[in-house]
Amino acid sequence: MGKIELTLLGTSAGVPTQKRSHPCIYLSYTGEKKFCFLFDCGEGTQRQIFFTHLNFMKISEIFITHWHGDHYLGLPGLIETMRFENRTKPLTIYSPEPARVKKLLSSGYPSHSFKIIHKFVPVSGQKITALLETDDFRIASIPVKHTVPCVAYALIEKDRLRIDKKKLKDAGLPIQGIMYGELKRKGKVFFKGKEITYKDICSVHKGKKVVYSGDTKICDNLIKIADKADLLIQDCTYFDEDDFEDYGHASFSDVLALSKSTRIKRIILTHISRRYKSAEELQEKIKNNPCMEIAKDFMKVTV
Ligand SMILES: [Zn+2]
């Protein structure tokens, strides 16, 4: 199975603070091949990347959840720097309503060293849409509930079959000596007059799932895409009910209810309002919920 590594480059809501930059997640998947993606690209993203070992030239796709400034204003600067660095490889930007950003990215006197491909992400309905597929995983989206069209994204790793020594033993097969390569290729072999299929001697290793909620209230679509996730990076703008303002975001009590009604293994709370200045105070609020963590800029997560 592959290795999924995420770096949270920005974890604030709306307005950045000294400690929290605008939302952006750098995700790399290392399997047979390595892929690098950005999810959202708030203002300051390129500078945040310079404080890490990450390479922005390797990003092949950017996934924007919605067109509120805190989630995309880093795009023009990052793309301009890619041009300065003579990028030639095309860059694909997935988003709801791509027409909204085409104008922004062609303003001024941009050079044209590489092509930008815009791809539309559906913003209505209850369907999970597969946007990109490789041998190892797919990236999918689903519309969520914000004040403007917005989506959640998921990286869903494919399940894998692996040879299971116990099954070999149960089938009366030797651990060595049978043509496993041939069995994998052809799906079956005959051994001592008996047909053995590849599935007979394998167990299924469940692929991993990582979900990014975007800005949203808790809604059925979010629950659908986040169910059984190994990791959910979740909008949690408000931590106290007294602070709650209905601008299409989740509060801590909403996320708590979500964690109790679903089978999500780990939840990182992000998109944190600037009113919460003390990380220790937030830590105190989640202390009875071992599956939850408070996001921090430059936090690294391996799944
Ligand atoms: Zn936001």
> So what's the pLDDT on residue 212?
98
- How does pLDDT run across 90-100, given as a tens digit for each residue? 999 999 988 88
If you measure from the C-alpha of residue 193 to the centroid of ligand 1, how many angstroms do you get, rounded to a whole number? 63
- 188/199 Cα distance (integer angstroms): 9
Separation of CA 40 and ligand 1 centre (Å) = 10
Residue spans in the chain of domains classed CATH 3.60.15.10 = 3-159+206-302
How far away, in angstroms, is 198 Cα from ligand 1 center?
48
Distance 237 CA to ligand 1 centre (A): 9
Helix, strand, coil % over all residues of the chain, rounded to 5? 25, 30, 45
Q: What does the pLDDT look like over 11-26, one tens digit per residue?
A: 999 999 999 999 999 9
Q: Quick check: 24 and 40 in contact, CB under 8 A?
A: yes
In the chain, where do the E strands start and end?
3-10, 24-30, 34-39, 59-63, 91-95, 116-120, 129-133, 137-143, 151-157, 160-163, 188-191, 194-197, 202-205, 209-212, 231-235, 267-270, 292-294, 299-302
Rounded Cα–Cα distance for residues 219 and 196 (Å): 46
Domain 3-159+206-302: give its CATH architecture.
4-Layer Sandwich (3.60)
Query: Is 71 strand, coil or helix?
Result: helix
State how far the Cα of 117 lies from the Cα of 301, in Å rounded to an integer: 29
Tokens 């209810």 map to which residue? 257
The reported pLDDT for the residue numbered 172 is 73
Closest CA to 279 of 13, 8, 19: 19
pLDDT at 190 (0 to 100): 79
Q: Locate 141 and state its tokens.
A: 């989206």
Question: For the chain, give me the number of helices (H) and strands (E)?
Answer: 9, 18
Q: How far is the CA of 178 from the centre of ligand 1 (A)?
A: 56
Using CA atoms, how far apart are residues 180 and 201, in angstroms rounded to an integer?
A: 10
Strand, helix or coil for residue 185: helix
Protein residues within 5 Å, CB atom, of ion ligand 1: 70, 215
Residue 259 C-alpha to ligand 1 middle, in angstroms?
Answer: 21
Length of the chain: 303
Among the listed residues 40, 70, 136, 215, the single catalytic one is: 70
pLDDT < 70 positions in the chain: 174-179
- Give dist(CA 65, CA 67) in Å, integer: 7
164 is catalytic: no
